[in-house]
Amino acid sequence: MTGVEGFMYPNEVELQWSALIVLYPYITGLVAGAFILASLERVFKVAAVRPTYRLALLTALAFLLVAPLPLQLHLGHPERSFEMYLTPHRSSAMAMFGFVYLWYLMVVLVIEIWLDYRADIVRLSQTRRGLTGWIYRLLTLGSRNVSPESRRIDDRVGWAITVIGIPSAFLLHGYVGFIFGSVKANAWWSTPLMPIVFLFSAMVSGIAAVLLLYMGISWRQKRKVDMLCLDTIARYLFYVFLIDFSLEMLDLVHRIYEADESFRSLDFMVRTRLYTSQVIVQIYLGTVLPILLLAATQVLRLSERLRRGLYAAAGLLTLAGIFAMRWNVVIGGQLFSKSYLGYTSYKLEFATREGLLTTVFLMVLPLAILWGLLKLLPPWPEREAA
């Protein structure tokens, strides 16, 4: 049989979870990571990252809006997914995830963004005309009160929501890891470390994405990058990356030392079918190299220009590495037989519902939404005015 080596059970030959299911944890990871970066400023009072606070929130919102789409496109009857809100089954992890998603979208992100932008929205509602004016007036909810006292209340409520938001972001992405980690029949997935590894890799990818977006937008709009902000984000990226890498290695060492009945089969898979995506892309290019680049910026005295270049390179490599990590989890978990005696292969289709074109479209869509959000809610209004 083409693409099959050794013995596969009949229902294992064809992969059921496609590249779209790879995209789903990748996108939710970017959401959770971007939000954690925003919370650094809000809750942990890291003032240096202030310039990216709003950008991080809008990035999280843009990606969160797209997060369920890969799942919807994977379903034969996407319209039925709404039923998990109407008649939720409490024993289904996916059904409960719908509520986690809704909570995070509506209660955490939308309210936090609204509270932070309220003064700007009120100002814009008074100056803009036409359709955008209408949108701003709608967003004010009819209240134009931006007195210092009302802003003080906003600030306190916003802080409380961010505090609630941190465990919510952890829950959102830890949950995605949980869905894989709880599949006890699959030795590649079934580990209690999975939610934690997913969470830290989410933080890494989200921070890297905001770092790159901040640099990219500043370059595009010919604005000077706040180097203190960039250095601080890169430092946090470095720290979180170290923890993430340690956890992944801990998982690896644990698997090697435990060497249960699945080990030889999985080890063979990593050395053959997953070698490029796991060893080369995920570990060497996507983890070790960016950590080394970031470490270089921490220990060497480098010029601003060089540091920016290294941050951009490290950010891009990180995003590619985390994507490879999601790929290796989702696709890798379906390549080997549960008999541990054979391997199948995955061929990414091109112009189909779950093909490459759809995957690329879903990856570009959040950036398009972010572009619209940045137009509607400019993150740096003081610079707009100047």
Q: Which residues of the chain form contacts with other proteins (CB under 8 A)?
A: 7, 9-10, 85-87, 89, 106, 111, 114, 118, 140-143, 145, 147, 149-150, 153, 157
Phi-psi sector, 143: left (phi>0), alpha (psi -120 to 50), beta: beta
Q: What is the rounded CA–CA span in Å between residue 372 and residue 113? A: 15
* Non-local CB neighbours of 339 within 8 Å, separated by 6+ positions: 7, 8, 9
Q: Which residue, 141 or 360, is less far from other proteins as judged by CB?
A: 141
Q: What is the rounded CA–CA span in Å between residue 289 and residue 355? A: 30
Question: What are the structure tokens assigned to 210, written together?
Answer: 């905001």
Q: Which residue, 149 or 260, is less far from other proteins as judged by CB?
A: 149
Min CB(362)–other proteins separation in Å: 27
Min CB(138)–other proteins separation in Å: 10
Min CB(281)–other proteins separation in Å: 33
Q: What is the rounded CA–CA span in Å between residue 377 and residue 188? A: 43
Q: How far is CA 206 from CA 26, 36, 147, 377, in A?
A: 9, 8, 34, 20
Residue 342: phi, psi to the nearest 5? -160, 170
Q: Which residue, 140 or 162, is less far from other proteins as judged by CB?
A: 140
Question: What are the structure tokens assigned to 342, written together?
Answer: 């054979």
Q: What is the rounded CA–CA span in Å between residue 193 and residue 51? A: 34
Q: Which residue, 13 or 225, is less far from other proteins as judged by CB?
A: 13
Q: Which residue, 114 or 263, is less far from other proteins as judged by CB?
A: 114
Q: Which residue, 185 or 351, is less far from other proteins as judged by CB?
A: 185
Min CB(107)–other proteins separation in Å: 8
- Short-list 227, 201, 205, 225, CA closest to 214: 225
Min CB(152)–other proteins separation in Å: 8
Min CB(363)–other proteins separation in Å: 30
Q: Which residue, 85 or 275, is less far from other proteins as judged by CB?
A: 85
Q: Which residue, 328 or 337, is less far from other proteins as judged by CB?
A: 337
Q: How far is CA 144 from CA 103, 137, 154, 287, in A?
A: 27, 9, 13, 48
3-state percent helix, strand, coil for the chain, nearest multiple of 5? 75, 0, 25
Amino acid at 324: A
Q: Which helix (H) or strand (E) is 6 found in, with range? A: strand 5-6
Min CB(7)–other proteins separation in Å: 6
Min CB(359)–other proteins separation in Å: 32
Q: 3-state DSSP call for residue 380?
A: coil
